[in-house]
Amino acid sequence: MTLLSEGISNVRVFSIPAGIGADGCVSAAAIVKWDSQYDGKFYQVYVNGKFAGATVVAGQRKFAVEIPLSEMTAARVEVFAVDGDYAQEDFSDEIPVQQGRAELEFARVQSIPAGARVGYYFDNGSGVVDYDIRLNCDEVNIWPDDFDKGGFGLSCFGESDFGRDSSSGPGFGKGSFGQDEFGIDLGIMKWQSGQLVAGEYIFGVKLFDSLGNEAGGTETEPLKIIGPVMPARRLTVLSFDQASGEIIFSIE
């Protein structure tokens, strides 16, 4: 059985007030509506790649589903047409695997030595970070050039902490203000992973000095990766309050 999607358009999702799901977690429901060129077909709705239910009569163009409630990630809702005999079968395995990326950042403080490098790792969904397989193919130098880090003799000696000058520290307004030594902003390093299959992962970061010595891995909390969500169609500005900067959109 093949899921049909090419003839389905204008998929819209309308939220319903949140409540407590069967598993005791906060969840929300939504009404999903769509247009279709197929006649006599039934329709299945999948949320984040999982079967969420099916219509009960041919030609039905809306359906209520339960969706996860999160302010951090969006839910992916997909609608497919099927023959009536297969309406209640789960075809999750036929849906293309969704992928997404993770972005990690950490503070590039002056206490990290010159010549230091960083390696990024993850658990591949197992719950235990594998530090034998590095995600970044090329070495990431924390201080690519000697002048990227304030060092002895590069500026006015004694104007920073012991053994280091402050000439190359991020200046006012160029980093994260108030998160480093007085008068110096904090530099932030960012790294983006390649495409990962949608799921939950733990990432680890290790530092290495110029001699190959390494610092113990620092790990993230579990991060949820989802595929990119298609932007809403026919999105218009309903109102804009210039005083407060509040903008309200309307989805037709």
Per residue in 155-193, pLDDT (tens digit) is: 555 554 444 555 555 544 445 545 555 445 567 788 888
- The answer to whether 76 touches 58, Cβ cutoff 8 Å, is no
Q: What is the DSSP string of 49-67?
A: TEEEEE-SSTT--EEEEEE
Percent of the chain's residues with pLDDT above 90: 14
- The answer to whether 28 touches 16, Cβ cutoff 8 Å, is yes
Query: DSSP code of 241?
Result: E
Residue corresponding to tokens 């790990």: 219
Average pLDDT in the 102-106 region?
86
Sheet with strand 26-36: strands edge to edge: 8-20, 26-36, 62-68
- The pLDDT of residue 145 is 67
Domains of the chain: 8-96 (2.60.40), 99-225 (2.60.40)
Percent of the chain's residues with pLDDT above 70: 71
C-alpha–C-alpha distance, residues 40 and 84, integer Å:
8
Tell me the chain's radius of gyration from C-alpha atoms: 25
Query: What is the CA 172 to chain-centroid distance, rounded?
Result: 30
H/E run at residue 119: strand 117-122
Give Cβ neighbours of residue 38 (< 8 Å, ≥ 6 apart): 4, 7, 8, 81
Where does the pLDDT of residue 204 fall: very low under 50, low under 70, confident under 90, or very high at 90 and above? very high
Higher pLDDT, 27 or 83: 83
C-alpha–C-alpha distance, residues 222 and 127, integer Å:
8
> Could you tell me if residue 210 is left (phi over 0), alpha (psi between -120 and 50 degrees) or otherwise beta?
alpha
Higher pLDDT, 73 or 60: 60
pLDDT surpasses 70 at 129: yes
pTM: 0.54
C-alpha–C-alpha distance, residues 232 and 108, integer Å:
38
Written as one letter, the residue type at 48 is N
SS3 at position 84: helix
- The answer to whether 15 touches 24, Cβ cutoff 8 Å, is no
